[in-house]
Amino acid sequence: MLKRFVKSTLITGGLETARIVKMAGLMKAARGRGAIFTLHHVRPKQDRAFDPNAHLEVTPQFLDTAIATLKREGYRFIALEDLAEALGSDDPAPLAVFTLDDGYRNNLEHAAPVFTRHGVPFTVFATRGFIERSHGLWWETLADFLEANDRIAFDFGNAPETVPTDTGARKQAAFDRFADYVNGRDEAEAVAAIDAAARAAGIEPLTITEKLTLDADGLKTLIANPLASLGAHTVSHRMLARLSDDAARSELENSSAAIEAITGRQPKTLAYPYGFSWAVSERDRLLARELGLTIAVTTQPGTLFAGQELTALPRISLNGHFQKAAYVGALASGIPFRMMRTG
Ligand SMILES: [Zn+2]
């Protein structure tokens, strides 16, 4: 999931500034050695009355445009696993690395054909609990739950209450409140409470998991494509930094084992769930390295440079709200984010 706290207006402001900077010819210096891109859903736009996860979704056409734009700007496309070697090479071309989180079915159906047409490698980070249909995706469960109901009953920790969700704004406010609730308490307990509330309203979280994500057979089909690789994305998709040492280790070990069962070899790559700065600790980076997950990506925005810490790599999200060719080069440069951080 993408950092939902990033304000669209700030991004837009940054992008407009970035285009001016580009005209001044500074873009090339700013883009460093290239960028790792984050995608989630890649599918034709669906019309939804309430769509709180729209930023996590781009169309196949936009992915095609993004790749074409990067090609025109001279980027070299490599697999994430080859990053260390590529960063050490003398080739001056900036690098572009594509990654897709969570293991959605549409990655096989809609993204793989675009990558194949362009000969671009890509890595899918699959979540064991989704592969095995043992865990829900709470942000998807909530989207369906809130879309279908004009009011919901929930206990956020004070007392049972009825929350009005009869308008788009109220549904979004409830969604944000649930996101804070998940962030603010034991994540497994919070998600279990959301799942129970959804079930009481006739929405089955594990049916959503099955509808949206690839199982082991689907992932095997995906990696029959020589451009595709699989990486680990934990078992339960909880923030690692908030888990005990044993729980964090078990999340990484058991997710690696699930990927190995599918591919026949131990994965080398990992995407930390959520990937925000507070979702990943130094302990988690050490654990990843210890378990052979030598290349690990966050969702903290930034570009690539030589000598970078390979178990805390920044990524740039291709965001569903900004599906224009003009944004791709600007995003890849990292300029908008640098301006956001200082502004
Ligand atoms: Zn994820």
- The C-alpha atoms of residue 161 and residue 210 are separated, in whole angstroms, by 30
Backbone angles phi, psi at 34, to 5 degrees: 125, -160
Q: Cα(127) to centroid of ligand 1, in Å?
A: 8
Q: Cα(233) to centroid of ligand 1, in Å?
A: 7
Q: Collect all residues with Cβ–Cβ distance below 8 Å to 298 and sequence separation of at least 6.
A: 272, 275, 276, 277, 280, 312, 313, 314, 315
Task: Say yes or no: 198 and 218 in one domain.
Answer: no
* Cβ atoms of 81 and 132 closer than 8 Å: no
Task: Say yes or no: 14 and 123 in one domain.
Answer: yes
Q: Cα(22) to centroid of ligand 1, in Å?
A: 32
- Domain membership of residue 59 as a residue range: 8-134+213-342
Q: What is the pLDDT of residues 190-213, one digit of tens each?
A: 999 999 999 999 999 999 999 999
Task: Say yes or no: 305 and 223 in one domain.
Answer: yes
Of 69-73, 230-234, 241-245, 327-331, the one with minimum mean pLDDT is 327-331
Whether 61 is in a domain gets the answer yes
* Cβ atoms of 248 and 284 closer than 8 Å: yes
The answer to whether residue 28 scores a pLDDT higher than 80 is no
Q: Cα(169) to centroid of ligand 1, in Å?
A: 25
Q: Cα(90) to centroid of ligand 1, in Å?
A: 33
Q: Cα(250) to centroid of ligand 1, in Å?
A: 17
Task: Say yes or no: 160 and 282 in one domain.
Answer: no
- The C-alpha atoms of residue 7 and residue 111 are separated, in whole angstroms, by 27
Of 180, 207, 234, which closes a domain?
A: 207
Whether 112 is in a domain gets the answer yes
Task: Say yes or no: 107 and 37 in one domain.
Answer: yes
pTM above 0.85, yes or no: yes
Nearest CA to 203 among 147, 125, 122, 270?
A: 147
Of 207, 229, 252, which closes a domain?
A: 207
Task: Say yes or no: 99 and 221 in one domain.
Answer: yes
Q: What is the pLDDT of residues 308-337, one digit of tens each?
A: 899 999 999 887 777 776 677 777 776 555
- Residue range 3-16: mean pLDDT, rounded: 44
Task: Say yes or no: 201 and 235 in one domain.
Answer: no
Whether 62 is in a domain gets the answer yes
- H/E segment holding residue 41: strand 41-42
Task: Say yes or no: 194 and 241 in one domain.
Answer: no
Q: What CATH number has the domain bearing residue 322?
A: 3.20.20.370
Whether 85 is in a domain gets the answer yes
Whether 185 is in a domain gets the answer yes
- Residue range 266-271: mean pLDDT, rounded: 98
Q: How far is CA 83 from CA 94, 270, 333, in A?
A: 12, 13, 18
- The C-alpha atoms of residue 271 and residue 103 are separated, in whole angstroms, by 12
Q: Cα(119) to centroid of ligand 1, in Å?
A: 25
Q: Cα(181) to centroid of ligand 1, in Å?
A: 18
Q: What is the DSSP letter of 110?
A: I
Task: Say yes or no: 180 and 270 in one domain.
Answer: no
Task: Say yes or no: 312 and 296 in one domain.
Answer: yes
For the chain, the domain total comes to 2
Q: Cα(320) to centroid of ligand 1, in Å?
A: 16
* Cβ atoms of 233 and 280 closer than 8 Å: no
Task: Say yes or no: 227 and 335 in one domain.
Answer: yes
Q: Cα(20) to centroid of ligand 1, in Å?
A: 33
Whether 77 is in a domain gets the answer yes
Of 153, 184, 207, which closes a domain?
A: 207
Whether 2 is in a domain gets the answer no
Of 9-13, 68-72, 260-264, 282-286, the one with minimum mean pLDDT is 9-13
Whether 3 is in a domain gets the answer no
Q: Collect all residues with Cβ–Cβ distance below 8 Å to 285 and sequence separation of at least 6.
A: 296, 309, 311, 312
Task: Say yes or no: 228 and 312 in one domain.
Answer: yes
Q: Cα(19) to centroid of ligand 1, in Å?
A: 30
**Opening angle at CA 284, ends 307 and 111, nearest 5:** 75
